[in-house]
Amino acid sequence: MLITTSHRPTRNTRRFVKVLSKVIPYSKKVNRGKLTLKQLALQAIDSGFNAIIVVRNRKGNPGYIDFYSVAPSGELIKECTLRICGYAIPSDYKKLTQATKVVLSLEEVLQESEQQNRNEQIDKLKTLDCIIKMFNVIMSTGRDRHSNISGGICMHITASHKENERKEGKIFDIIFTRCGNNETLFRISICNSSRMSQAATA
Which of 84, 119, 145 finishes a domain? Answer: 84
Q: DSSP for 53-107, please give it.
A: EEEEEETTEEEEEEEEEE-TTS-EEEEEEEEEEEEE--TTGGGPPPPSEEEEE-H
Identify whether 64 is part of a domain: yes
Identify whether 201 is part of a domain: no
Q: CA separation (Å) from 11 to 8, 17, 71?
A: 10, 10, 31
Task: Examine the domain organization and report whether 114 and 73 are in the same domain.
Answer: no
What's the domain range around 17? 2-84
Q: How much is the pLDDT for 137?
A: 79
Residue 26 is part of a domain; what is its CATH number?
3.40.50.10480
Q: How much is the pLDDT for 155?
A: 83
Which of 28, 57, 84 finishes a domain? Answer: 84
Identify whether 43 is part of a domain: yes
Q: How much is the pLDDT for 149?
A: 53
Q: How much is the pLDDT for 180?
A: 74
Identify whether 200 is part of a domain: no
Q: What is the pLDDT of residues 102-116, one digit of tens each?
A: 887 665 565 555 555
Task: Examine the domain organization and report whether 60 and 133 are in the same domain.
Answer: no
Closest CA to 92 of 193, 195, 198, 183: 183
Task: Examine the domain organization and report whether 80 and 132 are in the same domain.
Answer: no
- Number of domains the chain is built from: 2
Q: Is 53 left (phi over 0), alpha (psi -120 to 50) or beta?
A: beta
Q: How much is the pLDDT for 101?
A: 79
Identify whether 94 is part of a domain: no
State which residues of the chain have pLDDT below 70.
105-120, 139-151, 161-168, 193-202
